Structure 1
Amino acid sequence: MLEPGSAVARVLARLEELYVIGGGLGANRIGYSSEEDEAHRLARGWMEQAGLDVSVDAAGNLIGRHPAGSAAWTGSHLDSVPNGGRYDGALGVVAGIEAVERAGHGAVVAFRDEERGCAGSRALTERPDSYVELHVEQGPVLAAGSAPLGVVTGIAGVARGEFELEGRPGHAGTVPMAGREDALVSAAELVLRVRDAALGIEGAVATVGRLEVDPGALNVIPGRAVVSVDARAPDTERFERLIGALGLEPTYRVEPAAMDAELRALLCRELGSRGLPVVELSSGAGHDAGILAAKGIPSAMLFVRSLNGGASHSPEELSSDEDVALGVEVLTAALRR
């Protein structure tokens, strides 16, 4: 059991303070909302309590710097999706405050509005020497491997786009099946092709998350369907193959981002020195670390095992207190190097 006054107990208590902002089911701190503002006010106070020099940049990113030096950065974000989880983003900020204080140098940043496109990290103009982000995995891989922590190899590229399928609307009761041009049937076939394209490329995923049907009446054969696709792959070669296999013309595209080899090796050594399994894995979700890596800043991520089947962006998001404690310990050690 964690001691009430311990650093990790403080991290967990602060996560609870952030979680209840806004009320309702789960975390509700949309980017640049009054709720995210309140989270930043809390974090600023915690940074000041840790003896950090606090500033806010033009994008609203909150940065706490240790007076002894602040070239090595850590952090994450404090915004959430609607009805989000307790740990996503927030863990990296509150654990980062503890780690910087304990390491005796470094800086911790709370980026603005990560969930809707990483607005804060994209707008960052400073260039730290390095950036290491602690984050919950948001998936089941570490739990399946009985590993409390994992080192991220890279962050998947994301491509999004739409397919518009035309059919011929008609009366649902009078047009024979053999003569129909049903746009929704064509869309259903496309959904299966999207699935199969991703299954054919190791590590790739593709999702149809939205389907629009016109005219959308119960007794009318669909004359038009729009299929929205989200496609992801862990490296450039597989990313390009996936986009090609789908025939997708992306309207939104973020390239894959590899994590820094030296920082990855450092994190792996820290895990091994503690007798922990050394598991490396790709991140299918986007993160601020990927944005910084794309800017040429050496970046790394340390994942904390997610429980409840890897549930995330949900009130069911869960990590154990013990795994959180290990994450803070390894992050602190990495900042000390």
Structure 2
Amino acid sequence: MVLQAVGLAHSFGERRALAGLDLTIQPGVLTGLLGPNGAGKTTLMRAMLGVIQPDAGHILLDGRPVTFADRQRWGYMPQERGLYPRMPAAEQLAYMARLHGLDRRSAQRRARALLDELGLADRWSERTEKLSGGMQQRLQLGAALVHDPDVIVLDEPFAGLDPVAVAELSVALRERVGAGRTVVFSSHQLDLVQDLCEDIVMIDHGRTVLAGRVDRLRSSTGRRHLRLGVAPGAPRDWLTAFPEVHVVDDQVDALRLDLPAEVDPLAVLDAARAAGPVTDFGLDLPTLSQLFLGALGQDSSDASGAPDGGLDGSAA
């Protein structure tokens, strides 16, 4: 099911949260929704779910307006806790399943299966308020998945999770995507989104500023990082021949350089080798963090985060 927002606009008093936003979320791929605080991510999700009625624009499913019946087959995980604190974990999910029409026995089986999938099998009888924050987060995701929804909308599902829980949730979402479900989640963890998602949508001030396949977006900018291993104390004056090149990191025995599209990395490598031994080199695509800052009009050349290697080697 293709989920679309077309020309969405919404204001809260004088504050404009959505300003003619357009996006498309494809089934069978995991889509990350990115943006700074106040960009409009949560407002967008609430408009998708029908929690708020936008001032203008439409939410479409496979090209037609979304109906109440459609949304009955959606799963939503809000950023805020929405669990009954005194209810045991298994009873909590079984109750949610009953609300979606499952009979008692089926609801109990579904609850146990989800607890096992999300790493909470040994907590089935524990009251929700006794669970850690990360466990409650996983339980809340289970509540969103309990009716096997066709469209899954998650607001910061990975917030506060340890690496093991992140891995378990990632597997759960990938399985839904593999089954053809439409899955979108918001996150501030850009490294996680880069590793996990095929598609991203970046929004700012209520508008889409960047959208598409992660790999294509990273390769389309033309910018790259050149990593050079050099002799300790090697001169740097050869860099003056490349005024367009920005030094991202300068260590005693290593350099990281930001190269615009018009600069040939082999020319930079040759200049470095002419000045002294080069012991290592690598050419990396921009990280999602750098794309994010660039889309917001900020200096992305020194954004943190380890890029994925595109070309690696060594030179004597």
Q: Structure 1-normalised TM-score?
A: 0.26
- Structure with the greater alpha carbon radius of gyration: 2
Q: Which has the higher contact order (CA 8 A, sep 6+)?
A: 1
Q: Structure 2-normalised TM-score?
A: 0.27
